Amino acid sequence: MSEIIPARPIPLPWVSNVVEDRFGLSVVLRVGNAQQRFRWIAPGHFLMGAPADEAERGCSELPHEVTLSSGYWLADTACTQAFWLAVWPVNPSHFQDHPQNPAENVSWHDAQGFIAELNRRFPGLYARLPSEAEWEYACRAATTTPFSFGNQITVEQVNFHGNYPYIGGDKGLYRQRTVTVASLPANPWGLYEMHGNVWEWCADWYGEYPEEPQIDPRGPIIGKMRVLRGGTWSDPARYARSANRSRIEPAYRPLSSGFRIALGQIRDPVGMRKRIR
């Protein structure tokens, strides 16, 4: 039996529920009447980027080996407007007809301000944006295909511009807006809408990938633009690929930009579960 590495547990007073299901271990964080579920993403190794023969790949998607040496907790959905308003008083979103719509029209700085306030309220929570590598690792969920659903997607799986399907796919519904979070199928690790719906900010400055293997990459030290991932409701399907990269200046607020929260570097969900029990 392998040795259990000591963990930094999530502060237990703020965990309202701990669940194990077919996707693995998750915890729920409540803020007022709103809540967010976080899934444990175990450490691992994957090929980041897109192979040369992947259809509609971008020129910045050089495949390279990445090892994530520590696990982390990742929100199973993009931050909702309900969760945003439980922390921050003003809703910046355009589509405000349902509290479970993702918060959008959010800059990178807005997301960081929200996370800073969340951490101020709960010292030791260590909420943050995921790194670009953490984001793609979780999106792929151990798959190597263009999408975590396989080589093709439909509008029943992903909210994208249905008039522009992935190469070889059929046209479908163009919703012209976001959908409520967790309303489309989850990926194999229980994460919803990693493909499509809203672009999701990552912590990293945008930069070219290195050719050599990387351990826990965090992107360039400085830069002009921050990374966004996942594609959006208004984009063709190719932008929803697991490897697709986008970037804009961190002060810019696209109508389609949101974010997903990560928590700390917690190495031992098994040990945490034993302590909770």
Confirm if 167 and 56 have CB atoms less than 8 A apart: yes
pLDDT value at residue 39 = 94
Task: Give me the pLDDT at residue 140, please.
Answer: 98
Report the chain's mean pLDDT, rounded to a whole number.
Answer: 91
Residue that wins the pLDDT comparison between 9 and 120: 120
Per the domain annotation, does 49 fall within a domain? Answer: yes
Phi and psi, residue 86, nearest 5°: -70, -20
Amino acid at 185: P
Q: What pLDDT does residue 17 have?
A: 83
CA atoms of 77 and 62, how far apart (whole Å): 27
In a domain, 256, yes or no: yes
Helix (H) or strand (E) holding 274, with range, is helix 269-276
Cα distance between residue 87 and residue 232, in whole Å: 24
8 Å CB contact between 25 and 42: no
Q: Is residue 7 part of a domain?
A: no
Instruction: Flag whether pLDDT at 266 surpasses 80.
Output: no
Residue closest to 129 by CA, chosen among 205, 44, 189: 205
Structural domain span for residue 253: 12-276
Cβ neighbours for 152, distance < 8 A, ≥ 6 positions apart: 166, 168, 169
Say whether pLDDT at 84 is over 70: yes
Mean of pLDDT values over 111-136: 95
Can you say how many angstroms the Cα of residue 246 is from the centroid of all Cα atoms in its chain?
Answer: 14
Does an H or E element contain 20, and which?
strand 15-21
Residue 228 and residue 256 in contact, taking contact as beta carbons nearer than 8 Å: no
Residue-level pLDDT at 13: 63
**Quick check: 16 pLDDT over 80?**
no
Euclidean distance between CA atoms 53 and 51, whole angstroms: 5
Domain assignment of residue 184, yes or no: yes
Is residue 270 pLDDT above 50, yes or no?
no
| Amino acid of residue 198 | V
pLDDT tens profile 159-188? 999 999 999 999 999 999 999 999 999 999
- Whether residue 2 is contained in a domain is answered as no
pLDDT at 264: 82
Q: What is the pLDDT of residue 265?
A: 52
Q: What confidence score (pLDDT) does residue 14 get?
A: 72
**Residue 216, pLDDT above cutoff 50:** yes
- Checking if the pLDDT of 157 tops 50, the result is yes
Residue 15 confidence (pLDDT): 78
Q: What is the pLDDT of residue 20?
A: 86
- Whether the per-residue pLDDT at 124 is higher than 90: the answer is no
CATH number of the domain within which 266 lies: 3.90.1580.10
Q: Flag whether pLDDT at 5 surpasses 50.
A: no
pLDDT for the residue numbered 253: 94
* Mean pLDDT of all residues in 9-35: 82
- Residue 12 has a pLDDT of 54
Question: What's the pTM?
Answer: 0.92
Domain count, the chain: 1
Q: 15 is written with which tokens?
A: 């965990």
